[in-house]
Amino acid sequence: MTSLKPINAAVPKYGVGTQPFTVLIEGNIGSGKTTFIKHFQKFEDKICAMTEPVEKWRNFKGYNLLELMYIDPDRWAMPFQSYVMLTMLERHTKPTDKPIKILERSLYSAKYCFVENLHKGGLIHDGMYEILKEWYSYVEDITHIQADLIVYLRTTPEVVYERIRKRARSEEACVPLEYIKQLHELHEDWLIRKKVGCNIKVLEIEADLDLSEIDREYKRSENVITASIQ
């Protein structure tokens, strides 16, 4: 089988040296990533905090790609993942003059969790899966993806399932608990069991706690993140 191979190793990757200390916020659907990131907006002089481009996915030139992916994955999961890749890449490489960048999700969670899950569940064809893997590998070969710390908002599937039900995002109405459990296991394989992925430091946050109790967890991560630039 032929495979795209890295470009000349002597050529620097796109984006090398352009990114500050970068923190990726990861965790299952409904684990509280957006709320976590909003907490850091008070440090706007030091931190460039970017939430996920979910609104772009819900309205791409009039198409709700997120919804289409859930209701007709055979046809739409592949184009959805390719658009996710593009929007993530934009954020990974977007310049900032702040000393810290915080990103909600990353190319890595798309690759290690979502694409794997779609493939394991038979929702994308083997051929599509292989094409996506080639894309990830080529993009990572030619682009510098800065990632210095991952904050893992660790939850139990039943807790986030309940939150997803309560927030009632229309596209997610068809998401079963089983899907959430599978995504949980893939996050655990990547961030706790370290079965896949590279060696980025992981800070684990107890994200089952509700908003009234999670403050101490926010504080703990605040200390680690801000210490990176002292």
Q: Indicate which residues carry an active-site annotation.
A: 104
20 counts as binding ligand DGT under rule CB under 6 A: no
* 4, 18, 34, 192: residue in contact with ligand DGT (rule CB under 6 A): 34
Instruction: Name which position in 20, 22, 30, 151 contacts ligand DGT (CB under 6 A).
Output: 30
**Closest residue to ligand DGT in the complex (CB):** 114
Residue in 91, 105, 119, 184 binding ligand DGT, rule: CB under 6 A: 105
d(CA 123, CA 161): 21
Q: What per-residue string of b and e applies to 137-160 under the rule 16 or more CB within 10 Å gives b?
A: eebbeeebbbbbbbbbbbbebebb
As a whole number of angstroms, the distance between CA 58 and CA 67 comes to 7
Question: Residue 11, CB half-sphere, CA atoms under 13 Å: how many?
Answer: 7
Task: Determine which residue in the list 33, 101, 119, 187 makes contact with ligand DGT, applying CB under 6 A.
Answer: 33
Task: For the segment 55-94, give every residue that binds ligand DGT (CB under 6 A).
Answer: 66, 69, 80-81, 84
> Binding to ligand DGT by residue 132, rule CB under 6 A?
no
99 vs 117, which CB is nearer to ligand DGT? Answer: 117
- Which range, of 23-31, 41-49, 91-99, 134-142, touches ligand DGT by CB under 6 A? 23-31
Kindly compute the dihedral angle of the four CA atoms of residues 34, 36, 39, 43, in this order, to the nearest 10 degrees: -100
Of residues 100 and 186, the one with the C-beta less far from ligand DGT: 186
Question: DSSP H helical segments within 20-112, as ranges?
Answer: 33-39, 54-58, 65-71, 73-93, 107-109
* Position among 83, 108, 112, 114 found at the interface with ligand DGT (CB under 6 A): 114
Using CB under 6 A as the binding rule, the residues of this chain from 157 to 196 that contact ligand DGT are 172
Q: Measure the CA–CA gap between 35 and 55, rounded to whole angstroms.
A: 16
Q: How far is CA 107 from CA 7, 11, 81, 146, 193, in A?
A: 20, 22, 10, 11, 19
Beta pairing, strands 47-50 & 21-27? unpaired
Judged by the rule CB under 6 A, the positions of this chain that interact with ligand DGT are: 27, 29-34, 52, 54, 66, 69, 80-81, 84, 105, 110, 114, 118, 172
